[in-house]
């Protein structure tokens, strides 16, 4: 595993030389070798990261049903091009701010919880605020193993995966 770091680069946001570029090579069991790229500015806190597999993959979708606390440990590889869908809760679509990362189901759900909490706190409509609260409760019950929840990752680049024998993989039309 190798890591390269380039400090003091020009930041595309604040234009100071406080950007650190990093590239790391890592191996993810059952997925293969990955390159993790990141850029972080210590001045304006800009951050962007992505992953790229060393081998090419076909466009694919992975569906996983979280049924127990043990399932929270299942490894997830998500590229910046992937869409995460949790039916009746949230869809996270790729965009300019989309990040690639390697985490686990718990990490994905914590990101969803964060987004729901921000939505709840910024919402002025009482009905929408209540809906966000109920969705947060649903996510928490799932994390405690009290409720099943389905998670799907669709990636047109094939650079994402849910690494578990329980995950159902389907090819996407390119």
pLDDT mean over 25-36: 81
Q: Residues 62, 133: one domain?
A: yes
Distance (Å) of CA 92 to CA 19, 122, 147: 27, 18, 21
Q: Residues 51, 117: one domain?
A: no
Residue 64, number of CB atoms within 10 A of its CB: 21
Confidence bin at 174 (pLDDT 50/70/90): low
CATH number at residue 44: 2.20.25
Q: Residues 120, 149: one domain?
A: yes
Instruction: Give me the phi and psi of 24, to 5 degrees please.
Output: -130, 140
pLDDT mean over 49-63: 86
Q: Residues 91, 174: one domain?
A: yes
Q: Residues 66, 143: one domain?
A: yes
Total structural domains in the chain? 2
* Weakest-pLDDT range from 15-24, 25-34, 103-112, 165-174: 25-34
Q: Residues 76, 160: one domain?
A: yes
Q: What is the DSSP letter of 69?
A: G
Per-residue pLDDT tens digits for 118-144: 989 998 999 989 999 999 999 999 999
In this model, does residue 1 exceed pLDDT 70? Answer: no
In this model, does residue 35 exceed pLDDT 70? Answer: yes
Q: Residues 26, 103: one domain?
A: no
Per-residue pLDDT tens digits for 64-98: 999 999 999 999 999 888 999 999 898 888 877 77
Calculate the CA 39 to chain-centre distance: 17
CATH number at residue 74: 2.60.120.1040
Rounded to two decimals, what is the model's pTM? Answer: 0.78
Domain limits at 30? 1-55
Q: Residues 43, 120: one domain?
A: no
In this model, does residue 55 exceed pLDDT 90? Answer: no
User: Alpha-carbon distance 51 to 99, whole Å?
Assistant: 9
pLDDT mean over 36-53: 90
Q: What is the pLDDT of the chain when averaged over all its residues?
A: 90
In this model, does residue 50 exceed pLDDT 90? Answer: no
User: Alpha-carbon distance 59 to 52, whole Å?
Assistant: 14
Q: Residues 73, 95: one domain?
A: yes
Looking at 15, 33, 55, the residue that finishes a domain is 55
Q: Residues 71, 153: one domain?
A: yes
């Amino acid at each position: 595993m190798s890591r390269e770091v380039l400090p003091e680069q020009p930041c595309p946001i604040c234009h100071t030389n406080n950007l650190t570029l990093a590239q790391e090579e890592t191996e993810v069991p059952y997925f293969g070798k990955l390159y993790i790229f990141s850029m972080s500015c210590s001045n304006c806190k800009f951050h962007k990261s992505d992953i790229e597999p060393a081998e090419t993959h076909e466009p694919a979708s992975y569906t996983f049903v979280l049924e127990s606390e043990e399932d929270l440990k299942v490894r997830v590889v998500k590229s910046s091009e992937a869409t995460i869908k949790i039916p009746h809760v949230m869809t996270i679509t790729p965009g300019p701010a989309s990040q690639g990362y390697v985490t686990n189901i718990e990490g994905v759900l914590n990101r969803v919880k964060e987004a729901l909490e921000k939505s709840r706190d910024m919402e002025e409509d009482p009905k929408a605020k209540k809906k966000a609260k109920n969705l947060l409760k649903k996510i928490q019950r799932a994390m405690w193993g009290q409720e099943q929840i389905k998670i799907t990752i669709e990636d047109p680049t094939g650079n994402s995966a849910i690494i578990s024998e329980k995950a159902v993989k389907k090819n996407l039309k390119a």
